Amino acid sequence: MTSPQFFQFEADFVEALRCVPMSVRLKLDTCGIKLKLSEWNKFGREQRKVLVEMPCQTDEEVQVYREHLQQLVLASTGHLATELTIDPHPEWTNNTAIPSSVLEQARTLSLSLTLDQWSKLNPLKRFALIKLSRSDHENHNFLPALQEFHLD
C-alpha cells in the first residue's frame, strides 16, 4: 500500500472520508470506474481507507484495484459500478500542454499558468486542477488548489 496524498483544499472532508478524495478519483479514472458518491458512502471507513491506500499504477495494480472496487460496490449495493472507457493518454500525464479548461478557469481568476509551472506539477496535482476546472460545483476549490500548489 502507498501513503495517501491529500490536499489542503480537501481538508474539510478528508478526515472522515465522506467525499471521494482526488487521489481516489485519479485511481477511478485510471481503472475506468465511475463511482457515485452514494456508492462511496455505503463503504465503511476501513474500506474507504483501503481504496485510498491501495496502489493503482502498474497494469496489474490497476486490474487488482478495479476488481476490488467492483466487489465492494457489488457487496454494498447489489450491482456493479459503471465502467468507463480508459483514456490511453489522459491530460494529466501530459506535462507539455495545459488543458484549455485549466487555462480558462485561471483566466476567470485573473491568473495565468505557465507551461513551466504546469510541467513541474506531479500527475495528481495536474489531475486535481483539471477536475477542479471542469466541475461547476467544485471550481470554488480551484483557487485554493492553485494557492496550495504555489501557482497563484
What is the percent of the chain with per-residue pLDDT over 70, rounded to a whole number?
Answer: 94
Average pLDDT of the residues of the chain: 92
> What does the pLDDT read at residue 82?
96
Residue 3 pLDDT more than 70?
no
Transcribe the chain into DSSP letters: -PPP---GGGHHHHTTT-S--HHHHHHHHHHTEE--HHHHTTS-HHHHHHHHHS---SHHHHHHHHHHHHHHHHHHHSSPPEE-PPPSS-GGG-SS---HHHHHHHHHTT----HHHHHHS-HHHHHHHHHHHH-TTTGGGHHHHHHHTT--
Q: What is the pTM assigned to this prediction? A: 0.90
pLDDT digits (tens, 9 = 90+) for 69-98: 999 999 999 999 999 999 999 999 999 999
Mean pLDDT of 97-110: 95
